[in-house]
Each structure stands twice: as C-alpha cells, then as structure tokens.
C-alpha cells in the first residue's frame, strides 16, 4: 500500500472517494482473510491471482485500455520487469495471508505503518534522494521501534519486515514500469496465472483443495478474493493521481490503523509491553514524517 502513481496538485472529490475507499477496503481485509485461515496461504494466493484476472480485464475493457496491454505483451523487456513486480507482490500476498491466519495481524499493521518510511529510505539509497532532518529522525525512530520489538521478543519481527521489504521493492519497481497502474496490475496477474492454475490444479487433484472439495462458504470466499484484491488496488491507482501528495500521506495510515484496531479488539491478539513501547514510537515517527511531507508539498 504505497504511492504507485504521480500525485495531483489539487484534491479531487472523486480522487478522495476512490483512495479512501481503497484504504478502507485494505483496512478491513484481515476480517475477510481470517475467514480463510483454515485454507493454506499458497492456495488463497493462487485464487487471488486467478479471480483477479477477470475483474481487471473487465475494468480495462470498460475503460477501453486493453490495447496498451497488448503492446506490453510484445515487449520482452517490459514483460521481464512485470515478472519481477509480479514475483514481489505474490510473495507479499503470501506473507500477508499467512500472517492473518496465524494470528499475526498486529505485525502486518506494523509492516504497513513502517512502509512509507522505508520507501523514503529506499529512495535515498537507490535514487540518491536527499533526506531532511525530520525524515532522518522519523526513520531512526522506526528503526528503534523494530529494535525494541526484537529485543523483547528475542527475534526479528519477520512478518513486519518482510511485508515492508516486499511492498517497498514492489512500489519502487512499479514506478519504473512504463505502463499504467491498471494495465500493470493485469499484466502481473496474467504472468502469475499459469503458476496459480497449476497450484489449484495440484491441490484439487489430491482432494485437498477448498474450491472443488470445500464448503459453499469456502467457494464463495475464494471466488471473492479476486474482488477484494483487484478492487482496492484499482481504486487506489485511479484515486492517487487525483490527490495531492500530502493528502495521500495522511490517507495511507488509514489501513494500518484499521488493521491494528482489528487485531487488538476483534482478533484479540496480545498487545504486550514491547508493542506498547514500539507502536507509539512508530506513531510519533509517522507524525514527524507527515509534517515533513506537508512542508515539502507546500514549497
């Protein structure tokens, strides 16, 4: 959940509606995925890919943008770049689905809180972008929060760090992909379609699949993964380009906040001493980061 499109100079009501809807859907997605906790993560991810294809195709057909995708399919270089982003997003989905089902929703919230800070850090390292004092302070606080969690738990917060790394890498590569966000998403799921079909075919042939051998509820939920996957991504892609950078900066905290609240108050995940120290540190870091973002956008 990151800025994959160029922001607009002024906020559009339509852009706000699109982007806010996307973040709300992302924020409540753990409740949907929790209902599939008994299904292996790789099977859920495979269905997310399979059922995202018709949704994305329908959207592009309605917008009359399929010709751009056809041109992309004839470019080996573009296909290679899309394969890299597809690999990263599939790993990100797999970690996320597993984490929700395994009772680590709080860690996913942490990962998505840290993500904008990591994106700034990535820009500095890979693109040579200069960091201001406020941005450096925010990143330092986030690193300190991860250290607190690591020391208290005796291990790295694997889920949070993995989600941050995979999504940050995805967002970085996506920006260099010379293709619209909707077309890019469809190209990614098309690249992943054959492996996804192979996974589903394999589990179903063994009688272990949850689509042909599961309950009606399982079938409906797996079929619906296409909508809950593609819809927020496309809403965000079309909304972000109609909003100011500072507005996107504020909105991107909606989803992890909802995930955090869901993890603690709906799923009943433990919120111990380490979390009570680390999360406020992250929140302060994000306030500092947002102040820096607003200042930059006003220049």
Residue 111 DSSP class: H
Q: What is the pLDDT of residue 299?
A: 61
Tokens of 184: 């890019």
Q: What is the pLDDT of residue 298?
A: 66
* Cβ–Cβ under 8 Å, residues 278 and 106: no
State the average pLDDT over residues 136-157.
86
The position carrying tokens 């509606």 is 17
Residue 217: count of CB within 10 angstroms of its CB:
11
Tell me the pLDDT tens digit for each residue of 37-92. Answer: 999 999 999 999 999 999 999 988 988 888 888 888 888 989 999 999 999 999 99
Cα separation, 179 vs 176, whole angstroms:
9
Spatial neighbors of 234 by CB under 8 A, at least 6 apart, are 56, 59, 181, 182, 185
* Cα-based torsion angle of the residue sequence 80, 86, 89, 91 in order, rounded to the nearest 10 degrees: -90
Crossing angle (nearest 10°) for helices 133-153 and 158-175: 150
Q: What is the pLDDT of residue 1?
A: 56
Is the confidence at residue 5, as pLDDT, over 80?
no
* Cβ–Cβ under 8 Å, residues 297 and 247: no
Q: What length is written for the chain?
A: 299
Cα separation, 52 vs 88, whole angstroms:
16
Tokens of 73: 């399919």
Cα separation, 77 vs 74, whole angstroms:
9
Residue 103 DSSP class: T
């Amino acid at each position: 959940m990151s800025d994959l499109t160029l922001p607009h100079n002024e906020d559009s009501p339509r852009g706000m509606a699109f982007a806010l809807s996307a973040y709300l859907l992302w924020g409540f997605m753990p409740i949907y995925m929790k209902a599939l906790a008994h299904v292996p993560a790789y099977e859920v991810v495979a269905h997310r890919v399979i059922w995202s294809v018709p949704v994305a195709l329908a959207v592009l057909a309605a917008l009359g943008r399929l010709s751009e995708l056809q041109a992309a399919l004839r470019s080996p270089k573009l296909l290679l770049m899309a394969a890299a982003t597809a690999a990263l997003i599939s790993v990100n989905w797999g970690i996320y689905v597993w984490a929700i089902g395994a009772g680590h929703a709080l860690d996913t919230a942490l990962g998505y809180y840290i993500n904008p800070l990591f994106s700034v850090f990535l820009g500095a390292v890979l693109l040579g972008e200069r960091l201001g004092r406020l941005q450096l302070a925010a990143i330092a606080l986030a690193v300190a929060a991860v250290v607190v969690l690591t020391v208290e738990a005796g291990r790295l917060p694997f889920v949070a760090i993995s989600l941050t790394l995979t999504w940050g890498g995805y967002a970085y590569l996506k920006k260099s992909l010379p293709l619209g966000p909707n077309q890019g998403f469809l190209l990614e799921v098309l690249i992943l379609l054959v492996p996804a079909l192979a996974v589903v075919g394999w589990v179903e042939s063994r009688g272990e699949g949850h689509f042909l051998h599961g309950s009606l509820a399982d079938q409906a939920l797996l079929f619906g993964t296409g909508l809950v996957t593609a819809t927020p991504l496309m809403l965000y892609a079309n909304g972000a380009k109609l909003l100011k950078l500072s507005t996107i900066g504020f909105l991107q905290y909606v989803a992890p906040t909802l995930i955090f609240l869901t993890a603690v108050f709906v799923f009943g995940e433990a919120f111990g001493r380490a979390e009570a120290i680390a999360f406020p540190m992250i929140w302060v870091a994000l306030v500092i980061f947002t102040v820096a973002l607003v200042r930059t956008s006003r220049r």
